[in-house]
Amino acid sequence: MPHHPKSLFDAPLDGEFLTRDQAKALADRVLAFAKADETRVNITSGWAGNSRFAGNEITTSGGTTNTAITITSTIGKRRASSETNILDDASLRRTVASAESLARLSPENPELVPELGPQEYATVHGYFDATAGLDPERRAAAVKSAISAAETAGGPGANIFVAGFLQANAGANAVATSRGLFAYHRSSSANLGLTARTPDGTGSGWSNAGARDWSVIDAAALGRVAAQKAAASRNPRAIEPGLYTVVLEPAAVADIMGSLLGTFNARANDEGRGTFSKPGGGTKLGEKIADERVTMYSDPTDPDLLAQPFAGDGTPVTRVTYIEKGILKEFSYDRYWAQKQGKPATGGGGGGFGGGTVKFVGGTRTTAELIASTRRGILVTHFFYIRPLDPRTVMLTGLTRDGTFLIENGKITAAVKNFRWNESPLFMLSKIEEIGRAEPVGAGRVMPTIKATDFNFTSLSDAV
Amino acid sequence: MPYTRRDFVKASAAATALVIAAPDFALAAGRAPTRWREPDADELMAVALSAARDAGATYADVRIGRYRSQTIGTRERQITGVSDSESYGMGIRTIVNGAWGFAATSAMTPDGVVKVAREAARLSRAASGVQKRRIELAPTPVVKGTWATPVKRDPLEVPIEDKVALLFAANEAALTVRGIRFVNSGLQLLREIKMYANSEGSQTTQTFIRVGPSFSATAVGAGGFEQYGEELAPRGEGWEYVESLNLPGNAAQWAALAVEKLGARSVEPGRYDLIITPENLWLTIHESIGHPTELDRALGYEANFAGTSFIAPPEAQIGKLRYGRPLMNIQGDRTQVGSLSRCAWDDEGVAADSWRIVDKGIFKDYQTTREQAAQISALTGVTRSHGCSFADSWDSVQFQRMPNISLLPSEQNTSLNDIIAATDRGIVIRNRGSWSIDHQRYNFQFSGQAYYEVRGGKITGMLKDVAYQSTTPVFWNSMDMIGGKDSYYLGGSFGDGKGQPSQSNSVSHGCPPARFRGVNVVNTGRGA
């Protein structure tokens, strides 16, 4: 474990965040102060350590510990919440009183659902000592190894410029209600990303890896890939914007698919303002909305995802299959809408991607094999600054970045200038030529390489 | 209520006195503001600085932050969320062996802050093994004092019922408009007390108050739905600003625009003269002038995340780059009344500054911190930091963040109508829609909330599916008309993201309406 302050408040802690027993004791203390009809306590407790680098040296690094508590009080049909990170009795009493007075002053909410009693949750082990032990010295060593590997891969005298960020988090979330619910989950995550640039300013490459377990991340390999992409992307050619076949690496697929988060919300679709609402009423549930090879789901117990098995209100997060073999299969339901529609609540906030996790099921072939089978296309490393243009179609705009290449007759033949594009991930899912192997792109996210046709590049960007 | 006014009074009477020097504390008019002081804060800061020195720090600074924030969200006739939060803790930054370290904790006890000071020094040492250049800070005068956002009424002291009543009245007014099915409105309110001390002897206490209202309405018609969001600028002001917007009185006319959008004609893509209202243009300034003039971006510090800048290297750009025509003047500023980044001192104890970034169309200077100032002083002749160091929380490290950056109005008092009347074939773009720009801040695409076709100097109808796409230098060099001071508007955002781990900065941008010639317009509808 890293060396960090061990005392966050009066009660001593074993580590940088609350154990199950400590979280339970804190929740019980708060619940004992509560006078509302119902009370919920959410606890977030954790440590974060980071090392940031640029110009091949560490520029800033930090370590923080914090425990914050949110108290949600319900009086009749009125509900409000109040949060603090000051954990002495006086502050907790004050925060309880604040939540209760805000609740009393709030108008009645006709959609209010009562707090939950005890629930059954799946067991998920998402905490790894290798991540929690990523202390300042280990982080500095990892950064040094990534920078050295990039400098070596850049070649002698290349003077490759390296910038990046390494972050580790370890902590726990807990939820308790006055109806007897208590849930606790601890997890960890680590991420190392870096950008290598050539000194002439014409080449830039990026690589990134994230996982709950730091020990699966190879810092030197990331350094090498970023530098190789930087060197290969020098002096990019301008090619005409237009419709191109693309091979999107898993990070690029994650970037664009992230915009589907929220579109699987049952209520917005049922109410006629969702992406999958039909004009005149009804939704597209059960209809084919994508290529039949597309399957996407959230499942906290999936060994590649390992997400928190409960939502903030204590609802168990269940497996939700959004798209199965191209068919729009299931929506996410919050508790109110689930009750109203006679469906089970899914957790995950009602917007899809339960617990923020998602798995896009992959195929068997590698990115290299997808490139080899492409007659003419564009290879994309990742995207930047994606923004919605039209919620009805999930039409987005964004740019390519840090390694965009022309593929001709199965080979990468040139670096090309970055493009702006206007495209919808939903349209793209119907234009799939092949789905490659899937891999983790961050803690709780798995995406494949995708080859799709007619991707709409609309203009050139001079940005490197 | 967490930590009441009375608690503060009691606590500060018991605590070691801090030097209260700045006379403009009295600007916080209305009631005499309590000295929002923390118990034992001075002592804890002194303990932390001393522990840092003992741990080998040649420089250290410490910030204690106490944040109170409240958010209220509503839809139609109900509350979607009310929350109130406070956060309290200390962050300490050290230089050991010429390298930065930073650590933060919510354990506000002498033991807690000693540990965190040692942890910061440990981080400095670990970093110094992967360091090539020693950190050097530009000199700055030692300062002591207090400052507070001048407000007539602290928004956190306004009863929650009054706030909800205001939002419900706006929703109700919008729902009277035929075709309106959904309405969302909300308030985001913040009070931040920031205490700062450094090992050079500076010591300041500042209180920031910020308010951010929001309103949008959705109309549903036979062909689908359309949403209109009004541009309600967040400000560094009190509750009186929220009241001045008159949400209940204006909501129906805003909602009517959502209905009108249902019948708008989809734009024909092509080149148009654009008349961009300040409610849209402030964000274009933020993205295409604010970000590329950040010195850390130009030097590559943000390469892995937000990106670099086309305005690099500095020696090739300062005094040379033609950003726009001579009517273009851009001011960096942390002093403007009502603005979000207004302060008396930044998070390095540097006094607020106001300086020219673009003068008569020529790029002159970047945004800087103490660490950065010396790197370009030979080019600019400016040896001081421009005071752009800021951290979004006690547990975030301060780094270079954007001040208010504004386009100065014309000396002629040109109005929006004058610009429309002078335009033969164009589009008026109103309010903020979608925005996207590349990582060196060249290629951008922005949209708005409402668009009007202009023919022969007159507005002839409403358009939809409009976005303008251009390249920063081309776009700004196409600006040939700007409004005067009466048409000036101060927009802004609470949520300017930058850095890893990502931090959020509050920043304002002022500008008049302006005309841009022959800009590429794309259609963002189904056929985009």
Quick check: B115 and A5 CB within 8 A? yes
User: Residues B375, B417: contact at Cβ < 8 Å?
Assistant: no
Mapping DSSP to helix (H, G, I), strand (E, B) and coil, where does residue B484 land? strand
- Amino acid at the residue A194: L
- Amino acid at the residue B135: I
Instruction: Tell me, yes or no, whether B346 lies in a domain.
Output: yes
Average pLDDT, chain A: 92
Half-sphere exposure of B81 toward its Cβ, with a 13 Å CA cutoff?
11
Q: Are residues A131 and A246 in the same domain?
A: no
Give one DSSP letter per residue of A275-323, joined into a string: TTBPTTS-B-TTSB-S-TT--EEE-TTSTTT---SB-TTSPBP--EEEE
Q: Which helix (H) or strand (E) holds A339?
A: helix A335-341
Whether the CB of A398 is below 8 Å from some CB of chain B: the reply is yes
Q: Are residues A221 and A253 in the same domain?
A: no
Q: Are residues A387 and A462 in the same domain?
A: yes
Nearest to B103 among A56, A63, A85 (CB): A63
Instruction: Tell me, yes or no, whether A12 lies in a domain.
Output: no
Q: Are residues B55 and B182 in the same domain?
A: yes
> Does the bond joining A309 to the residue before it have cis omega, within 30 degrees of 0?
no
CA distance to A239, A267, A297, A322, A356, per residue, from A261 (Å): 32, 14, 12, 11, 9
Nearest 5°: the CA angle A168, A173, A174 is 165
For residue A348, the model assigns a pLDDT of 64
Q: Does A434 score more than 60 pLDDT?
A: yes
Instruction: Render pLDDT for A66-119 as a digit per residue (tens, 0 to 9).
Output: 999 999 999 999 999 999 999 999 999 999 999 999 999 888 888 999 999 999
Q: Are residues A199 and A341 in the same domain?
A: no
For residue B10, the model assigns a pLDDT of 34
Q: Are residues B154 and B281 in the same domain?
A: no
For residue B38, the model assigns a pLDDT of 56
**The domain boundary residue, chosen from A225, A257, A278:** A225
User: Residues B403, B333: contact at Cβ < 8 Å?
Assistant: yes
Q: Are residues B454 and B374 in the same domain?
A: yes
Two structure tokens written together for A356: 């923020």
In the block, which residue shows the tokens 């990046």? A164
Q: Are residues B217 and B340 in the same domain?
A: no
Q: Are residues A275 and A176 in the same domain?
A: no
Q: Are residues B140 and B272 in the same domain?
A: no
In the block, which residue shows the tokens 């907790």? A92
- Amino acid at the residue A181: L
DSSP strands (E only) in B231-284: 265-266, 270-276
Instruction: Tell me, yes or no, whether A10 lies in a domain.
Output: no
What pLDDT band is residue A355 in, cutting at 50, 70 and 90? Answer: low
- Within 10 angstroms of residue B159's Cβ, the number of other Cβ atoms is 9
Q: Are residues B374 and B476 in the same domain?
A: yes
Instruction: Tell me, yes or no, whether A274 lies in a domain.
Output: yes
Q: Which helix (H) or strand (E) holds A448?
A: strand A445-461
Q: Are residues A146 and A263 in the same domain?
A: no
**The domain boundary residue, chosen from B262, B283, B311:** B262
Whether the CB of A112 is below 8 Å from some CB of chain B: the reply is no
Number of CB pairs, chain A paired with chain B, less than 8 A apart: 290
**Who has greater pLDDT, A216 or B22?**
A216
> Phi/psi at B248 (nearest 5 deg)?
-60, -35
Cα separation, B38 vs B193, whole angstroms? 9
For the four alpha carbons of A87, A93, A95 and A96, in that order, the dihedral sign comes to positive
Quick check: A463 and B440 CB within 8 A? yes
Mapping DSSP to helix (H, G, I), strand (E, B) and coil, where does residue B305 land? coil
Q: Are residues A306 and A210 in the same domain?
A: no
For residue B223, the model assigns a pLDDT of 75
Cα separation, B145 vs B127, whole angstroms? 33
Residue among A185, A41, A43, A172 nearest A116 (CA): A41
Give one DSSP letter per residue of A88-118, joined into a string: SHHHHHHHHHHHHHHHHHSPP-TT--PPP--
Instruction: Tell me, yes or no, whether B528 lies in a domain.
Output: no
Instruction: Tell me, yes or no, whether A245 lies in a domain.
Output: yes
- Within 10 angstroms of residue B222's Cβ, the number of other Cβ atoms is 7
User: Residues B459, B306: contact at Cβ < 8 Å?
Assistant: no
3-state SS, B317-357, equals HCCCCECCCCCCCEEEECCCCCCCCCCCECCCCCECCEEEE
For residue B224, the model assigns a pLDDT of 80
Cα separation, B55 vs B62, whole angstroms? 15
Whether the CB of A395 is below 8 Å from some CB of chain B: the reply is yes
Nearest to A62 among B125, B131, B397 (CB): B397
Q: Are residues B405 and B312 in the same domain?
A: yes
User: Residues A264, A352: contact at Cβ < 8 Å?
Assistant: yes
Total count of domains within chain A: 2
Nearest to A61 among B101, B104, B471 (CB): B101
DSSP strands (E only) in B2-98: 59-75, 78-96
**The domain boundary residue, chosen from A190, A225, A260:** A225
Q: Are residues B331 and B429 in the same domain?
A: yes
What 8-state DSSP symbol labels residue A158? Answer: -
> Phi/psi at A139 (nearest 5 deg)?
-65, -45
Contacts of A68 in chain B (CB under 8 A): 87
In the block, which residue shows the tokens 């259609």? B523
Cα separation, B388 vs A147, whole angstroms? 29
Two structure tokens written together for B44: 């804890």
Q: Are residues A363 and A392 in the same domain?
A: yes
Cα separation, B244 vs B239, whole angstroms? 9
**Which residues lie across from B453 on neighbouring strands?**
B427, B461
Q: Are strands B425-430 and B270-276 parallel, antiparallel or unpaired?
A: parallel
**The domain boundary residue, chosen from B240, B262, B284:** B262
Instruction: Tell me, yes or no, whether B269 lies in a domain.
Output: yes
What CATH number has the domain bearing residue B130? 3.30.2290.10
Q: Are residues A242 and A220 in the same domain?
A: no
**Which residues lie across from B467 on neighbouring strands?**
B447, B522
Instruction: Tell me, yes or no, whether A55 lies in a domain.
Output: yes
Contacts of A66 in chain B (CB under 8 A): 89, 104-106, 395
Domain with A323 in it: 236-464
Whether the CB of A454 is below 8 Å from some CB of chain B: the reply is no
SS3 content of chain B, % helix, strand, coil (to 5): 25, 35, 35
Instruction: Tell me, yes or no, whether A7 lies in a domain.
Output: no
Q: What is the dihedral of CA A12, A18, A20, A24, to 10 degrees?
A: 80
Nearest 5°: the CA angle A420, A425, A430 is 120
Q: Which residues of chain B have pLDDT under 70?
A: 1-39, 526-528
For residue B300, the model assigns a pLDDT of 95
For residue A158, the model assigns a pLDDT of 87
| pLDDT (mean) for A268-292 | 93
What CATH number has the domain bearing residue A169? 3.30.2290.10
Q: Are residues B400 and B363 in the same domain?
A: yes
Whether the CB of B14 is below 8 Å from some CB of chain A: the reply is no
For residue A352, the model assigns a pLDDT of 56
Q: Are strands B78-96 and A204-211 parallel, antiparallel or unpaired?
A: unpaired
Cα separation, B7 vs A239, whole angstroms? 66
What pLDDT band is residue A354 in, cutting at 50, 70 and 90? Answer: low
For the four alpha carbons of A32, A33, A35 and A37, in that order, the dihedral sign comes to negative
Q: Does A11 score more than 70 pLDDT?
A: no
Instruction: Render pLDDT for A139-180 as a digit per residue (tens, 0 to 9).
Output: 999 999 999 999 999 888 889 999 999 999 999 999 999 999
What pLDDT band is residue A391 in, cutting at 50, 70 and 90? Answer: confident
Interface test with B, best of A387, A392, A423 (most B CBs within 10 A): A387
For residue B294, the model assigns a pLDDT of 98
Whether the CB of A144 is below 8 Å from some CB of chain B: the reply is yes
Q: Are residues B258 and B269 in the same domain?
A: no
* CA closest to A100 among chain B residues: B1
Domain with B135 in it: 5-262
Two structure tokens written together for B48: 């932390």
Q: Are residues A422 and A333 in the same domain?
A: yes
Q: Are residues B407 and B306 in the same domain?
A: yes
Q: Are residues A219 and A249 in the same domain?
A: no
User: Residues B143, A33: contact at Cβ < 8 Å?
Assistant: no
For residue A351, the model assigns a pLDDT of 53
Contacts of B375 in chain A (CB under 8 A): none
**The domain boundary residue, chosen from B262, B297, B318:** B262
Q: What is the separation of C-alpha A116 from the centre of its chain, rounded to a whole number of angstroms?
A: 27
- Please measure the distance between the N-terminal and C-terminal CA atoms of chain A and give it in whole angstroms: 40
For residue B225, the model assigns a pLDDT of 85
Which pTM value belongs to this model? 0.90
Mapping DSSP to helix (H, G, I), strand (E, B) and coil, where does residue B69 land? strand
Total count of domains within chain B: 2
Whether the CB of B436 is below 8 Å from some CB of chain A: the reply is yes
Residue among A426, A111, A109, A114 nearest A271 (CA): A111
Quick check: A83 and B87 CB within 8 A? yes
Q: Are residues B427 and B513 in the same domain?
A: yes
Q: Are residues A186 and A115 in the same domain?
A: yes
**The domain boundary residue, chosen from A173, A200, A225:** A225
Helices and strands: H and E segment counts in chain B: 12, 25
For residue B80, the model assigns a pLDDT of 86
